[in-house]
Structure 1
């Protein structure tokens, strides 16, 4: 799995990198077919005093690409919201894949039962 963490208008500290990596273990726990993860952290200045922290993630998994983004006044809060959104997407994708496989196993049996009647 390739992990890329980049910052726009922001210096990435080792603490931020470690925080993101620790949070991503939650995603790996649900789904281990992750090919590539790209995290982009940025700071947008709205005014001189007000800054907006933005976190984006692109995850390339087998068969699908997932994207999530979140905005907050604190970078760590934006990362937390981002991981929550991505976690919901991964669980939803995992359920769809599992349901698809279970439906494929059931379909061949139904025509056989109808033909026997």
Structure 2
């Protein structure tokens, strides 16, 4: 999986890169069809924000998290992304396993 990291008002250090890569390693094992993750780190006064966007089975999945500490925000966004991807996977399997329902007509009224 290719992870693109960009930052607004912050320099991306090697520690930040390693932290992001280690948190998303589990997701890449569970969802091998994901090829790229675009992550944007924004630093504001007393707030660290992280936004991650990816394409999964034809839909764009975007999650956001913010915290006072950057590494806590990274952990939050990793958990949110895993939940969002699981939800999307459930929608796809529900559509795949959906049974055809025959529309019912009111036979009682037609015979009387």
Rounded to whole Å, the distance in 2 between the matches of 1:29 and 1:102 is 24
Q: Please report the TM-score for the alignment, with normalisation by the length of structure 2.
A: 0.81
1:11 deviates by: 1.1
Q: Which runs of 5+ in 2 are unaligned?
A: 103-112
Aligned residues: 102
Q: Please report the TM-score for the alignment, with normalisation by the length of structure 1.
A: 0.78
Kindly provide the CA deviation profile for residues 7-39 of structure 1, in whole angstroms up to 9, marking residues without a partner as x. 111111111101101111122232221132100
Q: Which has the larger radius of gyration?
A: 2
Q: Which runs of 5+ in 1 are unaligned?
A: 46-50, 112-117
1:21 and 2:21 equivalent?
yes
